[in-house]
Each structure stands twice: as structure tokens, then as C-alpha cells.
Amino acid sequence: MKVYGRNVLKEILENDVSVKMVYFSNSKSRDLEKLIESVKQRNMPYTIANDKILERISNEKKHQGVVIDIGKFEYKDELIIEEITNPFIVILDQIQDPHNFGAIIRTSVASGVDAIVIPKNNSVKVTPAVVKVSVGTIFKTNIVQVTNLSRFIEKIKKLGVWVYGAAMEGKAYHKVDLKKPVALVLGNEGSGIRENVKNKCDDLISIPMKNKVESLNVSVSAGILLYEVFRKNEDINS
């Protein structure tokens, strides 16, 4: 997979992500020169080409003069959850929009989420667009693919994780404990959480609305709920 963007490369460098090749534009730029030097220092393979070539290999005009071939994106095994002490998990039930996925990843990393779990089927995958929208923060977290979300929820509940599903009929989120270990389930942009997944949750939470607004974009909802978990748990540790 070929990803692109200067901030994406900075995150790759910071997190020691393995790469097959870094392609730099031959246009002159102090920022690009610094990135080239950083790549050299890490003995990463790189080449310099014109912008048309970078546009062709990335299929993106706004590549910012940097394209990185990271090979196949490696999802983490669900067993990694067992290695995390007091986990904070986000479960995405059939999210379809890569921009929503990328935005949720960025917010998740900023709010201290340990792992983001998606189903293998009928769900957005990690794509160059997802990596770009996440501004490369995807390389700071664990993206886990599972065959069956309901079964995964059952497993983590046995590990002591309390699972909350975001649904309109749920309790107001600010009235709920949300102490770690905790998992938040967010549903599809149109239909929300599937009933079989919802039934596996320990409880349901909602975001109160005024002015007859029925719902928020899922990435906006994620931001509100994830930072409530962050706030509740920071209170514990302060």
C-alpha cells in the first residue's frame, strides 16, 4: 500500500514503521530536505522523482511531495487485547466511510485508546485515504480485525471489560461511569449498531440533543464519547 503526505512520513519515522520505499518530489523545499535527511539517517530506501510520477504511483495530486510504500498493512491479532492492562477499546460496527474511520483513529489516539476493532467483512478497511485523514496517527495504535464482533465482545467481557454501545435509546453519556477497562461500540453511519451486537453490550449510552436533531456524524459522536472516557479516567489518576 502506498500512502502519502509529509505528516504521514513523520509519523512513520517516529514510530519506526517498516517501509519498502520512500518517493520524494524533486521540487526544492526545506521541509522535504529535512525529511530526506531523516530517511537517510535511518537507512531507509528512497528515490527522487518528478511530481507526475508521484501522482501516478499514489493516485493522488495532493501528495505533498512524499509517497511511502509500506507494503501490506498489518492488522493486529485480537489476542493483543489480553496483553493490555486496563484497556480502552473502540469497536466500530460496519463503518463505511474512510474519512470517518480516519477521523475516529486520530481522535482515538489523542484520547488514549489502546485498540480499534473492526469486522473483517462489510466494513471500511485501512486505505491510503484513511491513513491520510488520520494524519499518520494510525501508526500509533493497534488496528484489530475480527471475524465476529459479537463473539469478540463476549471475550473481552470475560476479561473484565465493560462494553457500552452508542445508541439513541441509551442513557445520557455523562451520567454513566465509563471507567476503564472499557470499550465503546459505534455503529454504521446510517443504521447504527446491529441488534445482535447491541444485545451483547453491557449498557447503551447516548448524546443528548436539542432542537430536534436526531443524530451526529459518527466521527463527531466518537469525539464526544471518547473524551468523556478520557476525562473520567483522568479524574481517577489525578
Contact 165, 185 (CB under 8 A): yes
Q: Considering the entire predicted model, what is its pTM? A: 0.93
Give the residue from 90, 93, 68 showing the smallest Cα distance to 81. 90
- In tens, the pLDDT along 2-17 reads 999 999 999 999 999 9
Positive or negative, the CA dihedral 133, 135, 136, 141 is negative
Residue 168 parent element (H or E)? strand 162-172
- In tens, the pLDDT along 172-207 reads 999 999 999 999 999 999 899 999 999 999 999 999
- Identify residue 205 by its one-letter amino acid code: I
Contact 217, 96 (CB under 8 A): no
3-state secondary structure of 140: helix
> Helical H runs in the chain?
6-14, 30-41, 51-58, 98-110, 128-133, 149-158, 195-198, 218-237
| pLDDT tens by residue, the chain, 238 residues | 999 999 999 999 999 999 999 999 998 889 999 999 999 999 999 999 999 999 999 999 999 999 999 999 999 999 999 999 999 999 999 999 999 999 999 999 999 999 999 999 999 999 999 999 999 999 999 999 999 999 999 999 999 999 999 999 999 999 999 999 999 999 999 899 999 999 999 999 999 988 878 778 999 999 999 999 999 998 544 4
